[in-house]
Structure formats: structure tokens, C-alpha cells
Amino acid sequence: MKANAPTPLFSLLARLKAGGVVSHDELAGLAAHAPPPWWLATLQALAAWLASLFLLSAFYVPVLMIGDSPVARGLGGLVLAAVAIYLFRREGVFVGQVALAFSLAAQALVVSALAGDFIHLETDHRVVAAFGALLALIMMIPRSTPTHRSACALVALVFGLIASFAAERAAIQASALCACSVGLWLTRTHWAGKPYGVYLKAIANATSLLALPAAWLLPAFSGSRFVIDPIFRSLAGSVSGMSYWVFTLCIGALVVATVFHLTRELPLQARCVALAGALAMAFAARFTPGLIFAASLFLAAFQACHRPWAGAALLCAVLYLGEFYYNLQVTLLVKASALAACGLLLLGLRQYLLSQTRTDVPT
């Protein structure tokens, strides 16, 4: 067995062998495919990206010698994409990270070839963004790593938002992004293990990564002025204050729908109490829609047994609370009342659920 196998995995394999579940040969095969420790994987990834920078620099020199034209960049991108697809067929953290760097560089070159000149955009930006989203989705199809699929899904989503963005639809787009993230994690048991599950997981990672900051940026853009708002004021454009309330209503409905889905097997009384608590929390925290979404994402990720996103949701909830504290448009009395109401509500729900759990346990 490999010496660098993670301790929990090593213990699990040892118990499987002791119980006669797997043979010695099967145990050796499983241990051979065990991932390296996180610190070793991090070092290999850093080394891979450093090597990729040198390789890409050396690759781009002949392209410059041919002439920095859209055709040269397009052909160079296609070559890099072919090399990346080939490298993804080989195993190893180092090779996988090099292939990831080559794939992202290939997409950047091909999209820039369609855009034309690097300084003066010759093609409409919506067309370029739509093409970039399509290219990223195509690069998800061949065999690759989960990190690469998530990165391609993130690129496709960003380009898709750029291609379809409109100030009057900002609240709807952000709400759809949040709903997609929570919905995918809530239904993980239905698509995990399926052939298309790897793609849905990549989309779930990408939507969650975009939805968490979107739940903070949209209120800052739509009239809810925070201390750091002057940094983004020029980007807000014509996003109206109505978007803030539309987004708040959608996020409130999302947390109620999440609780409704998670409590579908509970008794009617407990389910009604949970739904009432979700409605009360959505109302009490209406000035911080990001906090409401963080709660929804935490519930969905926790139910899906995905600890990284559950932890990220809790961390963002703390950040949203800090941001709410420095919100100058809401008085201190309103902020204190909202936070106290949410805290008392959650403590009350916790006590009720604990009492229900004790009641259900047979004596």
C-alpha cells in the first residue's frame, strides 16, 4: 500500500481487508489509485502551473514570429486544446494541472482570435461572450479532471452572463443563479453516480462560486449603499433599486422552498413550524439577502454531504453579517433588532427540533 495514502482512506482499506470485503490484490489496486496528501497535491499543482507558464511562453514565441494575427492565435489555441485533451488521458496531479493551464490558455487564444485585435474589439462583445461560453462547454465533454470541468463551467457561466446581461434583468439573473446552485445540491442524490453527474457537479460548483458574491454585489449595485460602495458605483450603471427588492423576495422564496423540500418527510406539525421559521427568518433578514442565501446553500450542501461548500456558506454568512453591520443606510436599532430576532428564532427552532428528536427516540 502506498505510504502517502491519506490516513482515513488507509484505515478504511485496512478495515475492508480485515473484514474480507476486498482481496489483497484489490486492496493494492485501490491503494495505488489513492490521491496524494493535500500538501503534496498543492506542491505538485504549484510546480505544474510554474512549468506551464514557461511552456506557454515558449509556445507563444513561434506564434509571435508568424505574426500576432487572429488566425495565428486561433491555430495556436486549437493546438493547445489538442495537447490538453491528450494530457487529460494521463493520470497524476502534475499532468492534470498542466492540462488545465493549457486548456484555459487555448480557450483564451481562440476567443481572442474571434474578437480580433487585442486593443480594439472588432466583434460585438455579446457574440464573443456567447462563443466563449460555447467553447468552454465543448471543452467539458472530453475526458478530464473535476477541477477542469468546474473551471470550464465557471468560464461558460461568466461568458453567458456577459452575453445576456441587462440591468433590468440583473435581479432575475442573480436569483436564477442562486436557485440553480441550491437546486443542484438538493438533488445531488438523484444525479450522483450517473454518467452525467460529473457535469452537473461541475455546474453546481460554478454556480455556487458565482452565486455567493452575487448575493452581495447585487444589493451594493441597486441602491443599498455600503461603505465600500464607491468602489463599485461606476459599475452599477442603471441597476435600479427595485432589483434589490426583487432579489430579496426571490431569495426569501428560495429559503422557504429549501426548507419545504428538506422537511417533506417530517410530521405536519414539525413541518409547519420549520416553514414558519423560514418565513420569519426571511422577513427578519430582508436587509441582508446574502445571509438568507448563505443559509439556503448551507442547508442544501449539508444535506448533500458536501463539506467544502457547507463550510464556505458558513464563512460567507459571517462576512455578510459583518457587511450588514457597516451598512450606513440602516439604523443601528434596526440592525440590532433584525440580528436579535434571527438569533432568537434560530435558538427557538433548535430547541423545538431537539425536543422533537427526543420524543421520536423510543424508550
The predicted pLDDT at position 236 comes to: 47
Cβ(289)–Cβ(247) below 8 Å? yes
Q: Is the pLDDT score of 136 beyond 60?
A: yes
Q: Is the pLDDT score of 309 beyond 90?
A: yes
Average pLDDT, the chain: 82
Q: How confident is the model at residue 6 (pLDDT cuts 50, 70, 90)?
A: very low
pTM, to two decimals: 0.81
Average pLDDT over residues 117-144: 83
User: Distance of CA 58 to CAs 52, 61, 62, 118, Å?
Assistant: 10, 6, 8, 20
The predicted pLDDT at position 149 comes to: 96
Cβ(161)–Cβ(130) below 8 Å? no
Q: Is the pLDDT score of 295 beyond 80?
A: yes
Question: Which of 299, 347, 289 lies closest to 323, judged by CA?
Answer: 289
The predicted pLDDT at position 227 comes to: 37
Q: How confident is the model at residue 29 (pLDDT cuts 50, 70, 90)?
A: low
Q: Is the pLDDT score of 275 beyond 70?
A: yes
Question: Which of 104, 304, 88 lies closest to 200, judged by CA?
Answer: 304
The predicted pLDDT at position 252 comes to: 92
Reported as a single tens digit per residue, the pLDDT across 191-225 is 998 989 999 999 999 999 999 998 887 766 655 44
Q: How confident is the model at residue 120 (pLDDT cuts 50, 70, 90)?
A: low
Q: Is the pLDDT score of 123 beyond 70?
A: no
Backbone CA torsion sign across 164, 170, 172, 173 = positive
The predicted pLDDT at position 287 comes to: 80
Reported as a single tens digit per residue, the pLDDT across 37-55 is 777 788 888 998 998 888 8
What percentage of the chain carries pLDDT values higher than 70? Answer: 79
Helix axes 242-262, 197-221, angle to 10 degrees: 140
The cell numbers describing 136, all together, are 468552454
Q: Is the pLDDT score of 359 beyond 60?
A: no
